[in-house]
Amino acid sequence: MKLTPEQLDSFRRNGFLVLRAFADPAECEAIWDVAAAHLKHRIEPYESEVGYRLKSYQYRTEISDYRSLATDEKITVRRLRQVYDRDILFKNWMENRKIRPILEQVLNDQVVITLAHHNSIMTKMPHSSTETCWHQDRRYWRYSNDNLVSVWLALDSEYRENGVLEFIPGSHAIAFTADQFDEKEYFSATDPRNLPLIETKVSTDLQKGDVVLFHCRLLHRANANLTDKPKISFVYTVKGARTKAIEGSRSADYPEIYLEPLTNN
């Protein structure tokens, strides 16, 4: 399967693209079941809500030990880390051959899974999750260029009340100044220069099996989960083979998975 010229143009212009009903619902349910078990037993490494908004820029940029070290039994898990090596179901989805020609198109390069970033089961737990502020994923990553794309799989319905993704179309191509972001590199929602852009935000409800591709520099956010059911999603990031992790950075601390090319770029 490949994107149409119109779809590819839409991705390049807007910085994201939704692929409806892309993944097999049965595979989504199986992934959900395994993820739910890991969440129930709080299998490390994972990130909790405790102190999430307080972590410094230096911590997010430099620390590559993803264990939570949490001890409170009532802790809210924000994401399961390093899922590629947790279960064969997770690994198989990240190496999915059906989506690979699409990823080769948007990257215009051989597809490489980076295990250092994302590689996560993302959660919004009922009434205990927090809002995710406007940000660019690339802000803590260290690579030779920006040719990185995230693959988001909805394992069930996602909508405003449970924290569906929101995007600012085209923001991946804007050269922002550093002072448009706060000290933790969140895009300021109070800066008068940012407000007209934030008003252009878009979101779309997702159903089980929908996939969203989005560029590493695209501004995005999500609400807290105000419903009574967990929202569990799967996200991993790929890069082009010509895009290199900077030696000595967190981005270079984990292996990379080079996937067999399936098309000619």
Burial 12-36 (b: 16+ CB within 10 A, else e): eebbbbbbeebbeeebbebbbebbe
User: Tokens at residue 89, please?
Assistant: 């179901």
* pLDDT-above-70 percentage for the chain: 90
45-57 pLDDT tens trace: 998 865 555 555 4
Examine the pLDDT at 35 and tell me if it is beyond 90: yes
Q: Checking DSSP bridges between strand 46-48 and strand 77-80, what pairing results, if any?
A: antiparallel
101-136 pLDDT tens trace: 999 999 999 999 999 999 999 999 998 888 899 999
Kindly list the domain boundaries of the chain, sorted by start residue.
Answer: 5-66+73-258
DSSP string over 88-120? HHHHHHHT-TTTHHHHHHHHTS-EEEESSS--E
Question: What is the distance between the alpha carbons of residues 255 and 60, in angstroms, rounded to a whole number?
Answer: 19
Query: With respect to CATH, is domain 5-66+73-258 assigned 2.60.120.620?
Result: yes
pLDDT band at 75 (very low <50, low <70, confident <90, very high): confident
Structural contact between residues 187 and 193, judged by C-beta atoms closer than 8 angstroms:
no
Question: What is the distance between the alpha carbons of residues 79 and 53, in angstroms, rounded to a whole number?
Answer: 14
Strand partners, 215: 149
Examine the pLDDT at 62 and tell me if it is beyond 80: no
153-194 pLDDT tens trace: 999 999 999 999 999 999 999 999 999 999 888 999 999 999
Q: How far apart are the first and last CA of the chain?
A: 14
In the chain, the amino acid numbered 162 is N
Question: What is the distance between the alpha carbons of residues 106 and 121, in angstroms, rounded to a whole number?
Answer: 23
Query: What strand order describes the sheet that includes 132-135?
Result: 132-135, 220-222, 165-167, 202-203
User: Tokens at residue 230, please?
Assistant: 């967990």
